[in-house]
Structure 1
Amino acid sequence: MLEINMDDVIATIQSVQPQLTAIAIALIVALVATVAVNRRTVANQGTRKLTHASVWVAAVATVAVAINLMLTGPLNSMITMATGTRYELSQQTIDTTNDLAVDIEREGITLLQNNDGMLPLTDTDSLNVFGWASTNPVYGGTGSGALSDAYDTTSLLDGLHMSGFDTNDELTGFYTDYATTRGDVSITNTDWTLPEPPVETYDDGLLSNAKEFSSTAMIVIGRVGGEGSDLPDDMNATDHTYDDESNKPKAANYTDNSSEYQDFPEGTHYLELSQSERDMIDLVTDNFDDVVLVYNGANTFELGFVEDYPQIRSVLWAPHPGQAGFAALGEVLRGTTNPSGKTADTFVRDLTQTPTYENFGDFPYDNVDEFGVESTRGIRTPAFVNYSEGIYVGYRFYETAADEGLINYEETVQYPFGYGLSYTTFEQSIGAVSYDEATGTISFDVTVTNTGTAPGKDVVETYVNPPYTDGGIEKASANLVAFEKTDELEPGASQTMRIEFDDDDMASYDYRDAKAYVLEAGDYGISIRSDSHSVIEESVISVPRTVVYDSEDNTHNGDVTVATNVFDDAAGDVTYLSRSGRFVNYVEATAAPTDFSMSDEDKATFTNLSNYDPSDSDDADEQMPTTGANNGLRLADLRGVDYDDEQWDLLLDQLTFDEMDSLIANAGYQNAAIESIGKIRLSDVDGPAALKDNFTGVSSIGLPANIVVACTWNKDLARAYGETIGDMAHEINVSGWYAPSVNIHRSAFGGRNFEYFSEDPTLTGELAAEQVIGAKSRSVYSFTKHFALNEQETRRNGQLCTWANEQSIREIYLKPFETIVKASGDAQALMGSFNYIGNVYSSAHEGLNETVLRDEWGFKGFLETDYFSGALYGYQDADQLIRNGTDAMLASTETTNHIDSRSATSLNAMRRATHNILYTTVNSWRYENGEPEQSTPIWQVALIGVDIALGVLLAGLVAISIRRFMKRRAGER
C-alpha cells in the first residue's frame, strides 16, 4: 500500500506551480473580460457573444496547453509509472516464494532460553496464547519495507494451527474485541500505543476456562519499527524524539490502556515491558507453571525480566516473518523444526547503558539559522549526531570492555551476539590452523558433530583477537571474521567445514599515523566460538612483521588503489571512545553532547541550496564534450561490452544535453527512456523484503525481514532470497531492486533495524552480498543502500551532520558496502543516504562516491540518491551531485533534480553519470534478447486523442460563433 507522504504532495504541487498559475490567470482574465464585455456592449448582442466565445475559447486553449505542459513535463514520469501495465505473479512463483519464506523463518527463529527442556511441546496439543500481539503480530516494518496486502498472510495463530495446535478461541476473541489495530508507525505518523488489555478486564471465567483448556501458556510480546521514525528511547522525555511536523523535540505519542496508571512511567522506553504487559505476565505466571515467551520484534528487547519468572521456561525470538513465515513458529514449538537461529545483535539488560544511548537521536544545532529550510512545517535547521563510540559497536564493545575490566559481562549482557540454543547438542573441534605468509591465507578445518538426539544445524563462528598496544590503533578483542552453517546433521553425524580468510581481514585502519590499513606484527588469537563470548577452541598465529597496505602493489583486500584518509573532515571535534587505559575515557566519550554549535570552520564550508553555486567548481581547463553526433549506435549494441571500451564514447557522443538530463533527473522508481538510442523505460522499485511498485500498486510477496536472514547465518538462504527476488522481478517486469539495506544496528532504537541485518559488518556484508549475487544471477540490479552512515531515522533528511572517525567509517559502516561491491562485480547500483557525512551531504561527497567507491573498490555501476525532494529538504542539487560522483536523482516530480549549468564541467559530469546508468541497465535482463520493444505510454496516446478532439471542438465553436455573428450582422443591415 502506498503511503501518502506530505513531502511528496508538496513537491508535486510545487513542480506544477507555473502551469497552475497560468490556468488561474487564464480563468481570471476570462471572467474579467466577460464582465467587462457585458457592461460595455449591452446593446450589441452579436459583438458581445462573439467576444464571449473568443475569450473562453482562448481561456480553454490556455488551460489545455497548461495541462499538456504539466502532464508531459513535471508529471510525465509519475503518470507513466502510474498507468503502466499491471503484472501478476504466477501461482508457481507464489508457492515457491512462500516455501522460501518459511525456510528462512525456520532458521531465523532463535531459541534464547529452554529451561528444563520445556520445548519442544510434545505432550500437548492445546495452547493458551496470551498477549494482544498474538492477534496482531508484526509481519514486517513500515515505509519502504512494508508488505503488500495483495497476498494471503499466515498469522501467528495460523502458524500454530498448521502444526496441529489448538488455541484458546475465547482468549483470541477477548483480544480482538479489545482492539484490532495497533498504533500507526509510519513515515508521516507515529503512534506507539500498545493496546494490551489491563488485567482487571480478564474476568475469573476467562482464566478458569483457560486453565481447563490447557496447562501450557504462551505469551507474545510485539514491537514494530519503520522508515522515518526511530523507536522512542524515552517514552516521556523530549530530548531524543524528533517531531517532523513542528521541527521540535517531543515526547512519544501513545495512549495508555488505563486511567489508573501510565503504560510507560517516567524514564521508560519502547523496548521494555509496558505496565499493562508486565501486569499480564504477572497474571499468566500466577496461573500457569509452563510458559513460553515469544518476542516478535526486530529490535533487541530488554528481556531480563524473564529471570524473575521461573514459570517462563522457554524464550523464542521470532522477528518479522513476512507473509508466510509464521508457519515456522508452530513447527519450532512442535519440534518438527529444530531451531538453529543465532542472534544477529547483542541483547543487553539495560539499553540505556549502551555506549550509543546518549548519542542517538535529536541534536539540533543552535547557531545555523542561515542554513534553515523554510517549509510548511516551519524552519528546519541542520542537526548532528556523534558516532563517539568509534569502532566499539555492539559485541565489539562488550567483549573488549569485559576483557579490560570496564564491565561485568554477566550483569551487562543477557544473550551474546551469535547466541542460540538447539533441541540437540553439538561439538566442534578445530584442526591445525595454517598461515601461509606468501598468499596471506589463514585456513583450517572445523568438524561439527551432532552429539544429541535430534537432527539439527549448527554455525561455525570464527573470531580474531588481534594484538593490542595501549594507546595504539584501536582494536576490539573479538571480531567476527568468517562463518559457515552446517547442513542438517542427524544424531551422531559429523560435517567438516573449511574456514579460510586472508590476513588483511585481520588488519586495522590507522587513521592517525599510517593513514592506511595496518596488519601489526604479533600474536593473533583465532577462535571458534558458540557466540561472541564463549570460546570453544582457540589457536594462535604469529604475524612476524608489520604490514602497511600503502603501495600500488600492496593494497588492502584487493583495492584497486591504496586506501588512505578520505574522511578527516568528518571526525569533527568529538571525543572518541578509546581502549587506552582500559577505557579510561568511557564516561567522557559516551556522555550526551553539551555543545550544540557548529564550528565557524565547518559553517564556512557547509553547503545547501542557499549557497551552492556550480560555477565555484567549474574547471576552466575542461573541454566541452561532443553531443548529438550521428554514430548509428543503439544501446543494445553495447550489452556485454567492457565498461572502458571506446564504443561507449561513440554512443555517449550521440546524446543531447536534454536526453542526458532527463535520464539523470527522472530516476525515481524508474530508469527513463532515451528513444534515439533504443533505451526503454525500466522499472526500479522498493523494498528490502519485497518488490513494490508504488505507482501501479503491483507487488510481490513479502519475505521475512533481513534481521531474520541475519539470524539464520545461512549464506545459501540469502542467495536463494536474491534469486527469488530476481524471479519475481521478471514476472512483474521490474529491472532494479531498491535493496538490500546494509546499514548497521548502531542502536537498538533504530527505526529500520528490521530491514538492516545486524550490528556486525561481516555478517551483514556476507549475507547481503549473497542476496545481490542471487538477484544478479537473474540479471536484476540491486541498489544496495543507504550509502552511507544512515543509522538513524531522526532528522535523516533534515541536514543531519554525522560525525565519525575514519577508522569506524571504514571498519564498521562502509565494510558491508565494500564486501558487496567486490563480491558482486560490475553493473550494479547503490542508493545514497539522506544524511551529511561531517558537513558534506553524502550524495555530494566526492571522497565517498569517487575516491572510495570507484577508485579504491573499482565500482562500475551507478549511484542514485535517496528520495529526491530538492527544495523541500533544502540541500539536494543535481548539478552538485553529479560533479561529486552521484549519477541519478530518485525524483518523481520536478524540483532541483535537473542540471541548470551547461558548463563543460557539468556536461562532462553528465556524460560520466549517463555512462554509469546505461552500463548497468543494458546489462539487465530486459536487454537479454536484443533491443526491447519500446511503445508510447497509453496515457500519452489518450492525451493526443483528447487534444485532437478538443482542438476540433474549439475550432468548431469558433467557426459557429463567427458564422452566427456574421448572420446577425447581415440581418442588422
Structure 2
Amino acid sequence: MFENRKIRKREIMQRVNEDKAKRKERKQEIASLPEAEHKAAIANDKQLRKMQKQQRKEELISLSRKERKAAKKELKMYKKIKNRTRRITVWSVVAVLLLTAGVTIGPTVASLVNNMTGKHITINTTSAKGVEARKAADVVSEEIANEGIVLLKNENNSLPLADKKINVFGSTAFTFKYGGGGSGASDQTRAVNLFDALKQAGIEYNEELYEYYTGLPELEGATGKSSTGLVQVVKGMLSSDDAADEPDVTDSAIAQAKEYSDNAMIIIQSDAVEASDVSSDQLKLSAEMHDLIKKVAENFRNVTIIVNAGNTLELGFVDEYPSIQSVLWVGTPGPFGTNSLAKVLSGEINPSGRITDTYVYDVESSPASENFGDYQYENLDKAYINYEEGIYVGYRFYETYYQGNEDGYKQTVQYPFGSGLSYTTFDWNVVSQQLNKDSIELKLEVKNTGTAAGKEVVQVYYSAPYTPGGIEKSAINLATFAKTKALEPGASEVLTIKYDTRDMASYDMVNENYILEKGTYQIKLGKNVHEIVSTLNFELPEDIVYKTDADTGTEYKNRFTQSENELTVLSRNDWEGTYPSDKDDSKVALDKVIERVQGHEFNDNLEMPTTGTDNGLKLEELKGLDYDDPKWDEFLDQLTVEQMIDYVSNGAYHTGAIDELGIPNTVLMDGPAGFSFFFKKFEAGAYPTEIVIASTWNKDLAYEMGGIVGKEAKAYGIQGWYAPAFNIHRTAQGGRNFEYMSEDPVLNGMIGASLTKGAEDQNVTVFMKHFAMNEQETNARSGILVWSNEQAMREIHLRPFEITVKEAGVTGAMSSFSYIDGKWANPELLNGILRDEWGFEGVVSSDAVFGFMESQKAITSGNDLMLDILSVPKNKKRLDEAYDEHPEAVTAGLRNSMHNSLYATLKTYLFN
C-alpha cells in the first residue's frame, strides 16, 4: 500500500511538472502577442479556467461517495506538491529576515534560538486562576462583539428575520475571519463555527446547501487551520493581489435553496495581515464574488450581506440590487463573533455599533491614497511616504470638500463615519447646556420610542470658524461621544456630555501655539458625522491663545521642521492646486535628509554618571516615590555599565533580573486582541480586534476589557502588554487597519485610553503603540521616512497618544519603525513631545528590531528597551563601541533608560 502511494505521488509530481511547463510556455506565448491580443488572451484563459473548474465540480458531484473521496485526496496531494515551492519560500524569507537583521553565527544563534522559542519567558496559563481569567475574558469578548456589530442597511425591517430559515451562500462562510494576523492575532481555539452559532440562535440553515459547499474540492481543509504570528507575517510578505476564486453555485443548488427559504446571506471579506498592505482592487468584490451576489440577488427577495473585514471595502454593489435588503458589518469580531451575528439575525440582540471609518464608493477618492505604497529614494537606501493630505483624513476630507454639494457627497460617500442603525428608534432632547470658554457641557435626554430594547450612541461634533487662507480646519470634527445603557421601549436616560473648550483649538504652525479663533463654534449632536440632529451655537468674542501645555506647563514649539522637506499640503483654500499627487515627487533626498538619517548626535557635554557603587538599596525601597525623587539617583548609581547594556539590549518580550539589586524579571506580551507570542501558541483570552472594540463606541466596555486583560496578566505571570494600537486608518489599504481603531484620533484616544486605564488599574504596564505614524506596512520594516506637517501630526496622528497619556496614566509606549522628521527614535518625539510636553513617565520599547534600529541611537534618544530577538549581541557590541567613544552620553542614556524601565516595573503588581 505504501509503495502504491509512492508510485501515485511520483505520477502526480510528473503531472505537476508537466502542467507547470505548459503554463510557462503559455505565458511566454501570451507575452509575445500584441497588446490588444495580449489582454484578450488573458481574459480567454481566465474564462477557460473557470469553465474547467466548473466541469471538475460537476464531475465530482456525479461520482460515488468512495470515488469522490479518492478524487479529493488526489487533488489535495496535487495542490500540496504544486505549492511546495511556495512553502519553502516562506521559510527562505525567514532566513532572509535573520540576515537582514544582521544575525551572525556563533553565540548569536544560541541567543536567537532562545529568544524565538521563548525559553527565557515563563508564564503559566493552566492554573485555576488562569482558567477563570479566560472565562471572564470570553464573556467580555462576546459582549464587545455584541455591541460592535453595525447595522448599515435594513430596508423594510427585513432584520431581524421573521422566517428563521436562511440560505448561506459562498465559501467565505467556511473561512469566517475571527481576527487578524501577526502580533494582532489571538488564540482562536475556542472559536464558534458560524453554522453552530446559527443553530444555537434558533436559525435553521439550509443543510443541503451546506453539504453542496462542503463537497466542493476548493473547500477541502479550508477551516480549522491557523498559523503563529511569525508565519502569518511571512505569508503576508509573500502575498499577491490574486484573490482566491469564489466557487460558482449551480442552477440546481439555487433552485433547491429557493424552495427552502427566501432569505439568503453572503459574507464578504478582506485579506490584510501584518506586514502586507492591500491594493484597492483587493477592497472590491472579485468578479467571481460579484457573479455569486448577482445570482443570489436575482433569485431571492431578502438578501443580507455580512461585511467580515478589518479594512473598508467598496460596497457600491449593495445599491445595484433591490433584494439586498440588509447589510451587517461585523469586522473581525473574535472567537464568539458568530454568536453575536446569529443573535442579531434572530433579534435576540439589537445592534448598537457604529462604523469607525467613512465608507465610500471608491477607496481611491481619499487624498491620502494618492501617497500610499512603495516610494524609494534614488540616492538613499530608504523608502519614504508623504502625508500631503495634511489634516484631511477620512471624513475630515469628505465633509469639508463636499460642503454645500450634497449631490456630490452622496455620489461619493455611501455610509458616513459613525453610521449605524437599530431595530428601535430614539428621540433626543437637550435638557440643559453650559457653553463657555472653559468647557462645553450638555445634558441630553435619550428616549427609546420604538418597540425593542436597545442602546443609542450620541456623537458630539463641532465646526470651528474658518478664515480662507488661514489655519487649516475641517468642516466638522468629533469632540466626544456617549452611549446609553440598554433602554426598554418607553424608557429614557439623561446623559451628561462634557469636554474642554480648549479641545476645539487648532495648532498654529506660524506662531507655534494652539488657538481658538474668535467666531461662532457650532456644537452638533449627530447620529453620524453627516446626519446632525441638532446644533447649538457658542460665540467666542476674542481669540484665545494657548502657549503652554495645560497639564505640564511646557511651552509649545514646532518640533518637526528640521528636515526642510518640501511638501505641498492639501488646503481647503485651494483644493485643486494643493491636491496630493505622487507624480512629481522628487526621489532625490536632500543632503540634510541624508545627514539626518545617517548621522546621530551624542551629547558629550554631560557629567559622567556614577556607576557600580554599593549603596545597599533594593528596588522595592523606591516604591511609591516620585519619578524625580533624589533616592532614585542613589539607586541608579549602583548599576554598572555592563548591567545596563545587558538589560536594555535584552528587551524582547521580557526584561532580565538583577538579583543583587532586587530587580525582577518581567514578562511582556503581545497583543491588542488578547495575549499572544509571535513564535508559539498558548491558550489565552481572545477578543475582537481593535476596530470592533472601537465600533462599540462604549468607553465603559473598553475599560472592562482592559481590566480583564490585566487580571489575566496577573494570573499568567505577565507584567507588560504590547497594546493597544493607536495608529490612524489613514487609508483603506493599510494592512493593520483591523488592529487599529478608526480614522478619527478622538475616537482612537478615548477608546484606547479606556482600554489602557483598565489594564493599568490592575498594575500592568501598557505599551501604547506604535508611536508614531506607522500607517502602512509597505517598507515599514526597512525604516520608512514619514513626512508630514506639524499641524497634521499634532491634531491627527499624535492626538490619540496624547489623550491616553493624560487620561489613563499610561506607563509604557512602543516606538514605531518610522523615521519621523528624518530620524528613527526621534528625540523630539520621545523626549520633547512625549515626556516634556505631555508629562509621560515610563518606559519606551522599540518595535521588533531590524538592522536600521541601532541601540546606541535608541538609548540616547529616549527609546529605552530594544525589542530584539535577532541581534542582541550585535546591539551590545554597538553600545560597547559607542561607550568607548562617547562614555558620558552613553552612560547617561543607559541610566535614563534604566530609570524609565524600573519606574514602570515598580508600578506593576510585582511590588503590590
Give the gaps of 5 or more residues in structure 1. 20-66, 234-268, 369-380, 929-973
Paired residues for 1:77-116 under 5 Å? 81=119, 84=122, 86-88=124-126, 90-116=130-156
Paired residues for 1:851-870 under 5 Å? 851-870=832-851
Paired residues for 1:442-461 under 5 Å? 442-461=440-459
Q: Which string of whole-angstrom CA distances, capped at 9 and with x for unpartnered residues, describes residues 891-939 of structure 1? A: 12325432122211110111011000000012111222xxxxxxxxxxx
Paired residues for 1:267-666 under 5 Å? 269-368=281-380, 381-403=381-403, 405=405, 408-437=408-437, 440-511=438-509, 513-550=510-547, 555-569=548-562, 572-581=565-574, 583-585=575-577, 588-608=578-598, 612=599, 617-619=602-604, 621-666=605-650
Mapped partners of 2:488, 2:122: distance in 1: 51
1:216 to 263, 275, 278: 263
Give the gaps of 5 or more residues in structure 2. 1-89, 227-231
Q: Match of 1:836?
A: 819
Q: Which string of whole-angstrom CA distances, capped at 9 and with x for unpartnered residues, describes residues 198-234 of structure 1? A: 43xx23332222122222111111113111001112x
Mapped partners of 1:223, 1:526: distance in 2: 37
Q: Match of 2:770?
A: 786
Mapped partners of 1:415, 1:406: distance in 2: 14
Q: CA deviation at 1:861?
A: 0.2
8 Å Cα contact 1:132/1:196 also seen in 2: no
CA pair 286-773 structure 1, distance change in 2 beyond 3 A: same
Q: CA deviation at 1:322?
A: 1.0
Q: Match of 2:665?
A: 681
8 Å Cα contact 2:563/2:592 also seen in 1: no
How many pairs are equivalent?
A: 803
1:897 aligns with 2:875: yes
Mapped partners of 2:864, 2:247: distance in 1: 54
Mapped partners of 1:273, 1:11: distance in 2: 37
Q: CA deviation at 1:101?
A: 1.3
Q: Match of 1:825?
A: 809
8 Å Cα contact 2:182/2:678 also seen in 1: no
Mapped partners of 1:696, 1:310: distance in 2: 47
Mapped partners of 1:13, 1:345: distance in 2: 36
Q: CA deviation at 1:695?
A: 5.2
SS at match of 1:716: helix
CA pair 761-197 structure 1, distance change in 2 beyond 3 A: closer
2:208 to 156, 170, 175: 170
8 Å Cα contact 1:323/1:701 also seen in 2: no
CA pair 570-148 structure 1, distance change in 2 beyond 3 A: farther
Letter in 2 for 1:435: L
1:888 aligns with 2:837: no
8 Å Cα contact 2:125/2:131 also seen in 1: no
Q: CA deviation at 1:673?
A: 1.5
Q: CA deviation at 1:436?
A: 3.4
Letter in 1 for 2:165: S
Q: Match of 1:181?
A: 222
Letter in 2 for 1:744: I
Q: CA deviation at 1:75?
A: 5.8
Paired residues for 1:150-169 under 5 Å? 151-169=189-207
CA pair 763-80 structure 1, distance change in 2 beyond 3 A: closer
Q: Match of 1:938?
A: none
8 Å Cα contact 1:563/1:852 also seen in 2: no
- Structure-1-length-normalised TM-score: 0.80
8 Å Cα contact 2:463/2:523 also seen in 1: yes
Q: Match of 1:11?
A: 98
Q: CA deviation at 1:563?
A: 2.0
CA pair 13-839 structure 1, distance change in 2 beyond 3 A: closer
Q: CA deviation at 1:12?
A: 7.9
Q: Match of 2:69?
A: none
Q: CA deviation at 1:194?
A: 3.8
Letter in 1 for 2:212: F
More divergent stretch after superposition (883-892 vs 747-756): 883-892
CA pair 406-589 structure 1, distance change in 2 beyond 3 A: farther
SS at match of 2:782: coil
Mapped partners of 2:104, 2:501: distance in 1: 59
Q: Match of 1:53?
A: none
Mapped partners of 2:710, 2:211: distance in 1: 40
Q: Match of 2:22?
A: none
Q: Match of 1:815?
A: 799
1:226 aligns with 2:223: no
Q: Match of 1:237?
A: none
Larger radius of gyration, structure 1 or 2?
1
CA pair 80-452 structure 1, distance change in 2 beyond 3 A: closer
Q: CA deviation at 1:714?
A: 0.3
More divergent stretch after superposition (675-684 vs 406-415): 406-415
Q: Which string of whole-angstrom CA distances, capped at 9 and with x for unpartnered residues, describes residues 697-717 of structure 1? A: 334122001111111100011
8 Å Cα contact 1:82/1:696 also seen in 2: no
Mapped partners of 1:887, 1:569: distance in 2: 24
Letter in 1 for 2:827: E
CA pair 210-16 structure 1, distance change in 2 beyond 3 A: closer
- Structure-2-length-normalised TM-score: 0.85
Identity score, percent: 39
Mapped partners of 2:645, 2:262: distance in 1: 68
Paired residues for 1:134-145 under 5 Å? 134-145=173-184
8 Å Cα contact 1:570/1:805 also seen in 2: no
